[in-house]
Amino acid sequence: MNLAEYKGVFVFAQQVDNEVSGIALELIGKGKDLANDLGTEVTAVLVGSDVKALADELAAYGADKVIVVDDPELKEYRTEPYAHALASVIEKYKPEIFLVGATAIGRDLGPRVSARIHTGLTADCTQLEIGDFPINPIPGKEQLHNQLLMTRPAFGGNTIATIACPNFRPQMATVRPGVMQKLPKDESKKAVIEEFNPGFTPDNKYVEILKVVKSVVDTVDIMDAKILVSGGRGVGSAENFKLLDDLAEVLGATVSCSRAVVDAGWKPKDLQVGQTGKTVRPNVYFAIGISGAIQHLAGMEESDVIIAINRDETAPIFDVADYGIVGDLNKILPALTEKLKAEIAAK
Amino acid sequence: MKIVVCIKQVPDTKGGVKFNPDGTLDRGAMLTIMNPDDKAGLEAALRLKDQYGAEVTVITMGLPKAEEVLREAMAMGADKGILVTDRVLGGADTWATSQTLAGAIRNLEYDLIITGRQAIDGDTAQVGPQISEHLGIPVISYAQKIEVEGDSVIVERQYDDRYHVLKAKMPCLVTALAELNEPRYMTPGGIFDAYNAEITVWGRADLKDVDDSNLGLKGSPTQIAKASDKVRKGAGEKVTLDPTESVDYIIGKLKEKHVI
């Protein structure tokens, strides 16, 4: 492998139902940063069926170039044709960095592609930067420059590791949604658009989609919320989430929850914060009746202000809360909602 | 039907996480368990065995101590256990781990391979799909339901806002979510048998069609530049007040932070 042949930062521009996913824009934003450091460009790889029209949106958010792989076989996500699309793009264009969202799609697609082209893949990164490897010079070992340093939490968020991929290209990472910032939209920005179709011939690795069952609930994206009112097992019942809904309404906030709540069937999975849910970092995070398992903390501890209400004064949530109130949520929440209403009305 | 289930012994992070006074992780104080997603995968295999009859082989890669999870799996009902252990396999990233497991699985007959979606220590979710790629078979990740119909598997594949019902011809690899099922307990008879059962132990020489350059630390494309236990930012204030005072306290803080 001639590493010097590999140039440019590529990102997988995930779309679902021909709508660009937020993570695609976040990756373009981060990709642009990395590309600037390397003196190169960021290319978005758009894969799907009839998706070419989405290229302008990717350009408006900062993509210098968009490679469109458009084929009827790519209408719904399936591992094999998508892996074939990305592996073929990598083979042809030889990027030095390839970023994929750590979504339910990307965490299937990334490993399959990296295994096909034989390179390393670092999962669920929360920080990416260009730097030296080894980070500090080691006598007798060449220090390589302009390497992608990929930082990720492991162990349910209790350890962090920075990983490099010095001898293989592209350097691949999946990136946790909600962590990187997208650039402001600028409609005047245009990208070079190139179409590429490597050919798709179904083989044993193609699976058949018998049915697509969409969640019927109207989904709000908790990752976009400025204020989250998040409830845990301590809320007690699905009905009792009314207390959180009322508070959220007064504050213009969104309701989210912990895994226990999803497991109990009180709330749908897309509202779940944590290691197996979503990573959020709102301005204010209310943790209500949430004990604070590390898997939960991993998904919310970067919030600007954390306010926790819990009856159990030993709950681990208090270890990360800026303001912890030991008390009964059933008494505090209604009173808080009423008083806030009055405060806001008085303004 | 022949089913191979890949399982991993992991430190128990659920409830059992211990910290040193400096905020770093006290690994020595933590117990080990069978990785939850893997256990759900094993349970799914055992249910297929109950329903259709199948031979279930569990395989793990790790230190000799990892034999414990194989015995646990056999006490639950798995038929055979294979431990892949060798010094030269240590320090493997997901590429080298998947190469190792694929090399071991090539020795076996299989219709279905089940792995957990991800292990709670590394959380990468990469090894299952990578094994399938090395073996040239289809993969279905994030399974919330697995059924067999003739020579195919029918799987509910979870996404954020939907699921797909997928059909794949076997052989196929499926990665299981912990929410797939409630794993059974070991039976006393099963435990007794499992502790007397023979575990097959394989080393480097037993792996089929794998080059040395793809194994262990040296065969790992990714390398650790820096690792540290995360030191949490630490607690802020904690107060115990009556409800009215609590409300005033919260509103005071919201004002201070210009939220309202």
Q: Give the whole-angstrom CA distance, residue B260 versus residue B21.
A: 37
Topology alike, domains A3-195 and A222-345: yes
Closest CA to A125 of A145, A98, A95, A143: A98
The mean pLDDT of B79-83, rounded to a whole number, is 98
* Range among A241-250, B8-17, B219-228 with highest mean pLDDT value: A241-250
Between chains, do A134 and B225 touch, taking CB under 8 Å as contact? yes
Q: List, in sequence order, every residue forming a beta bridge with B96; answer none if it has no partner.
A: none
Residue A40 has a pLDDT of: 98
Q: Which percentage of chain A shows pLDDT scores above 90?
A: 83
The mean pLDDT of B109-132, rounded to a whole number, is 95
Q: For B98, which residue in chain A has the nearest alpha carbon? A: A115
Comparing A122-136, B28-42, B164-178, the range with the smallest average pLDDT is B28-42
Q: Give the whole-angstrom CA distance, residue A38 versus residue A135.
A: 17
Q: For A138, which residue in chain B has the nearest alpha carbon? A: B225
| Cβ neighbours for B13, distance < 8 A, ≥ 6 positions apart | A155, A156, A158, A294, A295, B30, B120, B121
Residue A147 has a pLDDT of: 98
Q: Which percentage of chain B shows pLDDT scores above 70?
A: 92
Q: What is the DSSP string of B197-223?
A: SPPEEE-GGG--S--GGGSTTTT-S-E
Place domain A3-195 in its CATH homologous superfamily: HUPs (3.40.50.620)
When the pLDDT of each residue in chain A is averaged and rounded to a whole number, the result is: 94
A319 at interface of B, judged by CB pairs closer than 8 A: yes
Q: Give the whole-angstrom CA distance, residue B57 versus residue B41.
A: 12
**Phi and psi dihedrals of A314, rounded to 5?**
-95, 5
Q: Give the whole-angstrom CA distance, residue A317 versus residue A301.
A: 10
Cis peptide before A282 (omega within 30 of 0): no
A331 at interface of B, judged by CB pairs closer than 8 A: yes
Helix residue ranges per DSSP H, chain B: 36-52, 67-76, 94-105, 127-135, 188-196, 243-256
Q: Which CATH architecture has domain A222-345?
A: 3-Layer(aba) Sandwich (3.40)
Between chains, do B159 and A104 touch, taking CB under 8 Å as contact? yes
Q: Give the whole-angstrom CA distance, residue A311 versus residue A334.
A: 16
Q: Give the whole-angstrom CA distance, residue A152 versus residue B112.
A: 32
Residue B31 has a pLDDT of: 83
Domain architecture of chain B: domains with CATH: 2-214 (3.40.50.620)
Q: What is the DSSP string of A126-160?
A: SEEEEEEESSS-BTTBPPEEEEEEEEEEETTTTEE
Between chains, do A340 and B251 touch, taking CB under 8 Å as contact? yes
Residue B13 has a pLDDT of: 67
**Cα–Cα separations (whole angstroms), residue A285 to A92, A312, B115:** 45, 19, 35
- List chain B residues with CB under 8 Å of A120: 93, 95, 220-222
Residue B26 has a pLDDT of: 67
Confidence of residue B17 (pLDDT cuts 50, 70, 90): low
Interface of B with A in 186-225 (CB under 8 A): 220-225
- List chain B residues with CB under 8 Å of A206: 138
The string of pLDDT tens digits covering residues A304-335 is: 899 999 999 999 999 999 999 999 999 999 99
Residue A224 has a pLDDT of: 82
Confidence of residue B27 (pLDDT cuts 50, 70, 90): low
Residue A216 has a pLDDT of: 66
By the 8 A CB rule, do A193 and A55 touch? yes
The string of pLDDT tens digits covering residues A191-207 is: 999 999 999 999 999 99
> How many A×B Cβ pairs under 8 Å?
263
Query: Where are the domains positioned within chain A?
Result: 3-195, 222-345
When the pLDDT of each residue in chain B is averaged and rounded to a whole number, the result is: 92
Interface of A with B in 229-268 (CB under 8 A): 251, 263
- The SS3 call for residue A67 is strand
Distance from the A84 Cα atom to the nearest Cα atom in chain B, whole angstroms: 11
Between chains, do A108 and B141 touch, taking CB under 8 Å as contact? yes
Q: Which two tokens stand for residue B223?
A: 């390398």
Closest CA to B127 of B135, B140, B111, B115: B115
Residue B179 has a pLDDT of: 83
- pLDDT greater than 90 at residue B140: yes
Q: List, in sequence order, every residue forming a beta bridge with B246; answer none if it has no partner.
A: none
The string of pLDDT tens digits covering residues A267-305 is: 998 899 988 788 888 999 999 999 998 889 888 988 989
Cα of first residue to Cα of last residue in chain B, in angstroms, is: 63
By the 8 A CB rule, do B142 and B62 touch? no
- List chain A residues with CB under 8 Å of B239: 323-326
DSSP B25: B
Q: Give the whole-angstrom CA distance, residue A45 versus residue A28.
A: 10
A117 at interface of B, judged by CB pairs closer than 8 A: no
- pLDDT greater than 70 at residue A3: yes
Q: Give the whole-angstrom CA distance, residue A311 versus residue B104.
A: 51
Interface test with B, best of A336, A337, A339, A347 (most B CBs within 10 A): A336
- pLDDT greater than 90 at residue A118: yes
**Phi and psi dihedrals of B226, rounded to 5?**
-165, 140
The mean pLDDT of B221-240, rounded to a whole number, is 83
Number of Cβ atoms within 10 Å of the Cβ of B102: 24
Q: State the sign of the Cα–Cα–Cα–Cα dihedral A13, A199, A53, A6.
A: positive
- pLDDT greater than 90 at residue B110: yes
**Cα–Cα separations (whole angstroms), residue A164 to A26, A129, A152, B212:** 21, 10, 11, 21
Interface test with A, best of B118, B134, B161, B167 (most A CBs within 10 A): B161
Q: What does the buried/exposed string (b/e) look like for A64-97 if buried means 16 or more CB atoms within 10 Å of the residue's CB? A: bbbbbbbbebbeebbbbbbbbbbbbbbeebbbbb
Residue B233 has a pLDDT of: 66
